[in-house]
Amino acid sequence: MNLQLIYDGEALKNHEINPRELSVALLGIDTLLKEANYTLNNGKTELKVKVKASFETGCFKINFRVAQEVLDKIVGLFSSSEATAYADGLAIVGV
């Protein structure tokens, strides 16, 4: 998933931004995305957020790349209660 945050306007006419404002915004988005992932996936997947900034005349863009770890999904699949029940059923039947 890709997400883009654009800072634009009169305050950035000199291509400058207050580092505290920028850091608070970046940390807030990172926290928001990770908390949403935790809530939606019951803590079973890990989210990695990467940032790439780009500059254009009069604005400051921050591109976020968000990715879930596929391995976490696979482990979750095999460690779910459904998978355990299926494995136990196979063991009982003797497969």
* CB 51, CB 62: distance < 8 Å: yes
pLDDT value of position 8:
74
Instruction: State the total domains in the chain.
Output: 1
Q: Say if 42 falls within a structural domain.
A: yes
Q: Say if 11 falls within a structural domain.
A: yes
Tell me the per-residue pLDDT of 22-56, one tens digit each, with 9 for 90 and over. Answer: 888 889 989 998 898 888 888 878 888 888 877 66
* CB 51, CB 64: distance < 8 Å: yes
Tell me the per-residue pLDDT of 57-68, one tens digit each, with 9 for 90 and over. Answer: 666 677 778 777
As given in the structure block, the two tokens for residue 91 are 């063991």
Range of the domain at 63: 2-68
Average pLDDT in the chain: 75
Q: Is the pLDDT of residue 86 over 80?
A: no
* CB 32, CB 24: distance < 8 Å: no
